[in-house]
Amino acid sequence: MTPDDQSLDDEAFTSLLARMGEGRKGHAAETQPTLRSLRRRDAGFERHPLYQQMQFQRGFAGFAGLASPYYRLHDVRAGATSVIEGRPVINFASYDYLGLNGHPDIADAVNRAVEEYGSSVSASRITAGERRVHRDLEMALADVYGADDCIAFVSGHAAAVSTIATLLGQKDLIVFDSLSHNCIVVGAQLAGCARRSYPHNDLNALEVMLTKERRLYDRVLIVSEGLFSMDGDGPDLDRLIAIRDDFDAWLMIDDAHGLGVLGQTGRGIFEHAGVDPQKVDIWLGTLSKSLVSCGGYVAGCAALVDLLKHHAPGFVYSVGMPAVNAAAAVKAIEIMRAEPQRVAELQARSRRFAGQARAAGIDIGNSWGYGIIPIMVGETIPTVVLADRLLQRGVNAFPIVPPGVPEKSARLRFFVNASHTDEQIDQSVELLREELHRLGDQSLGSLLHG
């Protein structure tokens, strides 16, 4: 019986958890629901299938002696290193690719912004929330892409969801890479358009799909990431543009992880590929990675931005980005553009990590070796065990398991950043090699409780 099986009644479910709890070795006891807590209120949330599934998984993890990797507390500003619940670690789980978080010039810009504007703009920008720093940010981002204009949202996820849902409707089609981020999928669901996904980076399959279906729809949007967040590879941008032209579609590139990472000056996938950025209709990005802030954006032609500024629900009906976030990102763009050596350092560190891992016989999938290096393990339990053992030895990398990635493709994801030292990388790859070796010698049974 699984948690998806709706016939699992409360009593059977609670008793299953209780039986699992006997083997828990004291892990995560706080998350174990008791019969009493399940009965305390009958609002029904405990019987929600998603909640039951979570509790089932927690019960199983506890039964198996696996510590939860979720919501671990970092005690300090996380960069190349961090302190997790009192333990110093070499940190590979944060997206601060250029090592800019906490940069003194960014801290100064943030302090000035809070003095000038306070901590909130206290209204949607379309009403009373517009501040000069919003436009400074949008112009700086538009300049990165050689675009007419840009619109900044309060989150990257919201930027994607709102943009897709504004541009597409029931007569339209979205076609996206099967490994696209959740924000693309949710945007497509909200738009109510037809949805198709093509196998990862398989542009032949995309062409076949569009040949069959293009004529059935009014508008068609093709979406790919520039640098895939789980795999560290990217698409053939030139060919995507040609397909867009052949099928009279729009092309959106989510370059959340490409900015600051790809290309000689960090401008992203188009610079890496030597492609004119104006050939992409919609550039989607986020401030939360290389730009060490919080927020998202869309850059493109004037009509696109004008349309979104008056119709995108997550912009029009949501508060404007706090000035402090905008100021931090403006300063981060300035530093990125003035100090391309940071990008070069990040790329050199990533190459070192990828090269050493490959030399040690470690499977890093199809990673291009820029910023994101997945260590392909396959099964979920060994991946979680590996992450935990590395953490015990002072290396923090996050395990990515289904449904975040397809079944049997669980991996440990390493985000390399410009501030990692050669020694930190060498030491981490060596520990990884040792722990993978140890894992390889162990049966699944011995991993549990091992």
Ligand X SMILES: Cc1ncc(COP(=O)(O)O)c(C=O)c1O
Query: Does position 200 bind ligand X by CB under 6 A?
Result: no
Find where tokens 């436009």 sit.
Answer: 135
Identity of the residue, 155 or 166, whose beta carbon is nearer to ligand X in the bound complex: 155
Query: Does position 296 bind ligand X by CB under 6 A?
Result: yes
CB of 145 to ligand X, least distance (A): 16
CB of 435 to ligand X, least distance (A): 26
Is there a contact between 329 and 181 (Cβ–Cβ < 8 Å)?
A: no
Query: Does position 183 bind ligand X by CB under 6 A?
Result: yes
Identity of the residue, 66 or 333, whose beta carbon is nearer to ligand X in the bound complex: 333
CB of 288 to ligand X, least distance (A): 3
Query: Does position 266 bind ligand X by CB under 6 A?
Result: no
Is there a contact between 356 and 425 (Cβ–Cβ < 8 Å)?
A: yes
CB of 78 to ligand X, least distance (A): 15
Query: Does position 187 bind ligand X by CB under 6 A?
Result: no
CB of 187 to ligand X, least distance (A): 10
Please choose, from the candidates 105, 69, 108, 109, the residue with its C-alpha nearest in 3D space to the C-alpha of residue 89: 69
Identity of the residue, 129 or 156, whose beta carbon is nearer to ligand X in the bound complex: 156
CB of 211 to ligand X, least distance (A): 28
Identity of the residue, 33 or 371, whose beta carbon is nearer to ligand X in the bound complex: 371
Query: Does position 78 bind ligand X by CB under 6 A?
Result: no
Identity of the residue, 80 or 256, whose beta carbon is nearer to ligand X in the bound complex: 256
Burial class of residue 438 in the structure, from the number of CB atoms within 10 Å of its CB (0-12 exposed, 13-18 middle, 19+ buried): middle
201-230 residues in contact with ligand X (CB under 6 A) are 225, 229
> Rounded to an integer, what distance in angstroms lies between the CA atom of residue 48 and that of residue 428?
41
Query: Does position 172 bind ligand X by CB under 6 A?
Result: no
Query: Does position 389 bind ligand X by CB under 6 A?
Result: no
> Rounded to an integer, what distance in angstroms lies between the CA atom of residue 177 and that of residue 184?
10
CB of 180 to ligand X, least distance (A): 8
Shortest Cβ contact with ligand X: which residue?
Answer: 156
Which one of residues 24, 181, 411, 420 is an interface residue with ligand X (CB under 6 A)? 181
Which one of residues 46, 233, 254, 281 is an interface residue with ligand X (CB under 6 A)? 254
Residue 233 CA from chain centroid, whole number? 14
Identity of the residue, 33 or 285, whose beta carbon is nearer to ligand X in the bound complex: 285
How would DSSP label each residue in 123-187? S-IIIII--HHHHHHHHHHHHHHT-SEEEEES-HHHHHHHHHHHH--TT-EEEEETT--HHHHHH
Identity of the residue, 121 or 321, whose beta carbon is nearer to ligand X in the bound complex: 321
Is there a contact between 220 and 175 (Cβ–Cβ < 8 Å)?
A: yes
Query: Does position 231 bind ligand X by CB under 6 A?
Result: no
Please choose, from the candidates 240, 309, 314, the residue with its C-alpha nearest in 3D space to the C-alpha of residue 280: 240
For 313-339, b/e burial (b = at least 16 CB within 10 A) is ebbbebebbbbbbbbbbbbbbebbeeb
Identity of the residue, 64 or 256, whose beta carbon is nearer to ligand X in the bound complex: 256
> Rounded to an integer, what distance in angstroms lies between the CA atom of residue 21 and that of residue 160?
41
Please choose, from the candidates 232, 228, 241, 227, the residue with its C-alpha nearest in 3D space to the C-alpha of residue 275: 241
CB of 287 to ligand X, least distance (A): 7
> Rounded to an integer, what distance in angstroms lies between the CA atom of residue 383 and that of residue 413?
10
Identity of the residue, 157 or 349, whose beta carbon is nearer to ligand X in the bound complex: 157
Which one of residues 256, 298, 321, 336 is an interface residue with ligand X (CB under 6 A)? 256
CB of 95 to ligand X, least distance (A): 7
> Rounded to an integer, what distance in angstroms lies between the CA atom of residue 336 and that of residue 328?
12
Peptide bond into 403 cis (omega under 30): yes
141-160 residues in contact with ligand X (CB under 6 A) are 155-157, 160
Is there a contact between 418 and 97 (Cβ–Cβ < 8 Å)?
A: yes
CB of 162 to ligand X, least distance (A): 12
300-359 residues in contact with ligand X (CB under 6 A) are none
Is there a contact between 354 and 369 (Cβ–Cβ < 8 Å)?
A: yes
Which one of residues 101, 162, 288, 290 is an interface residue with ligand X (CB under 6 A)? 288
> Rounded to an integer, what distance in angstroms lies between the CA atom of residue 344 and that of residue 59?
45
| Tokens (6 digits) for 294 | 């919080």
Entry field: residues in the chain: 450
Strand partners, 371: none
Query: Does position 94 bind ligand X by CB under 6 A?
Result: no
Chain positions contacting ligand X, by CB under 6 A = 155-157, 160, 181, 183, 225, 229, 254, 256-257, 286, 288, 296
